[in-house]
Amino acid sequence: MSKTPPMILLVEDNEDDFEATQRSLEKNHFINPVHWCQSGQEALDYLFENNNKQMPDLVLLDLNMPGIDGRQVLQRIKDNDKTKKIPVIILTTSGDPIDIEMCYRLGASTYIQKPVNFESLTEAVKTIKDYWFGVAILPKK
């Protein structure tokens, strides 16, 4: 019996950043299904509005989005019994120490400052793959 690969929820409002991340995932031979939410509100709707959807095993979350931002999404994920065990990786351009401290305080698993070029992003995605899908044991749903 084959095991279903862990599903990734990618929350990213910038289409260019989404496409670069998607290309990095493909370059690193990710076989994981990816669901893209283009806003914080869309991510919250996906997570909490429809119980029939596959819940993600890992969330890649941008912080700086209009409306409901990544900080609010992280807080809602970690405050809810249904989702609080899901590892959340912050993948953002912000290197602000206040953001870093806040995200870890709210329960982020990892904070990665989004690289400015494709090669560095690909290396960051490879690190995510190697650690989160090669070394770490994800919580059971």
The answer as to whether 102 is a domain residue is yes
Predicted confidence (pLDDT) per residue in 10-31, tens digit: 999 999 999 988 888 888 888 8
The whole-number average pLDDT for the span 37-43 is 97
Which residues form the domain of 92? 10-133
Quick one: pLDDT at residue 3?
67
The answer as to whether 86 is a domain residue is yes
The answer as to whether 123 is a domain residue is yes
The answer as to whether 33 is a domain residue is yes
More confident site: 27 or 68: 68
The answer as to whether 4 is a domain residue is no
Q: Are strands 34-37 and 88-92 parallel, antiparallel or unpaired?
A: unpaired
More confident site: 65 or 32: 65
CATH number, position 53? 3.40.50.2300
The answer as to whether 88 is a domain residue is yes
The answer as to whether 2 is a domain residue is no
> Is it the case that residue 80 has pLDDT exceeding 80?
yes
> What does the alpha-carbon distance between residue 75 and residue 69 come to, in Å, rounded to a whole number?
10
The whole-number average pLDDT for the span 90-98 is 93
What is the pLDDT of the chain when averaged over all its residues? Answer: 89
The answer as to whether 138 is a domain residue is no
Q: Is 27 exposed, middle or buried (0-12, 13-18, 19+ CB in 10 A)?
A: middle
Count how many domains the chain has.
1
